[in-house]
Amino acid sequence: MIAQNKPEMLKSSHQLEVRIGCDEMKNEYDCVVIGAGPAGGTTAALVAEAGNSTLLIEREKMPRFHVGESLMPEVYWTLDRLGVVEKIRAKGKFTKKNGVQFVTNKGKESRPFFFQEHDARESALTWHVKREDFDKILFDNATEKGADCFDETRVTKIDFSENGKHKIELIDREGQTRHVIAKVVVDATGQQSMIANKLQIKDVNPELKKAAIWSYFEGAKRNGSGEEAEVTCILHTKDKSAWYWYIPLGDGSVSVGLVSNNDSLLKGRGTPAETFYEEMENCVGIKNRLADATQKGEIRVAKEFSYTTKKHACDGWVLVGDAYSFIDPVYSSGVFLALKSGELAADAINEGFQLGDLSEQQLGCWTDDYEKGISLFRKLVGAFYTDEFSFAEFMKKYPQYKGDLTDLLIGRVYGDSNPGRMFDDMDPWIQHSKDGTIDQYAATIPDPMMETM
The residue ranges that bind ligand FAD (CB under 6 A) are: 34-40, 57-60, 64, 66-71, 154-155, 188-190, 192, 194, 212, 257, 302, 304, 321-323, 329, 332, 334-336, 338
Nearer to ligand FAD, 21 or 438 (CB): 21
Closer residue to ligand FAD (CB): 215 or 362: 215
User: CA-CA distances (angstroms) from residue 212 to 176, 261, 264?
Assistant: 35, 9, 11
Q: Which is nearer to ligand FAD, 257 or 419 (CB)?
A: 257
CA–CA gap between residue 106 and residue 119 (Å, rounded): 30
Q: How many helices (H) and strands (E) does the chain have?
A: 16, 16
Q: How far is it, in rounded angstroms, from Cα 174 to Cα 171?
A: 8
Residue among 377 and 423 whose Cβ is closer to ligand FAD: 377
| Cβ distance to ligand FAD smaller for residue 128 or 432 | 128
Q: How far is the CB of 179 from ligand FAD (least distance, A)?
A: 14
Cβ neighbors of 414 (< 8 A, separation 6 or more) are: 74, 340, 369, 370, 373
Minimum distance from residue 106 beta carbon to ligand FAD (Å): 24
b/e code 376-388 from CB counts within 10 Å (16+ = b): bbbbbbbbbeeee
Task: Sort 342 into a burial class: Cβ within 10 Å, 0-12 / 13-18 / 19+.
Answer: buried
Residue 192: CB minimum distance to ligand FAD, A: 4
Q: Return the ∠ at Cα 78 (arms to 195 and 311), rounded to 5°.
A: 25
Is 210 strand, coil or helix?
Answer: strand
| Residue 422 C-beta: closest distance to ligand FAD, Å | 21
Closest CA to 199 of 32, 345, 319, 362: 319
Amino acid occupying residue 422: M
* Main-chain dihedrals φ then ψ at residue 309, nearest 5 degrees: -120, 145
CA distance 448 to 388: 22
Task: For the CB of residue 20, give the shortest distance to ligand FAD in the complex, in Å.
Answer: 16
Comparing CB distances to ligand FAD, the nearer of 259 and 290 is 259
CB of 306 to ligand FAD, least distance (A): 10
Nearer to ligand FAD, 37 or 352 (CB): 37
Specify the residue, 87 or 300, whose C-beta has the smaller distance to ligand FAD: 300
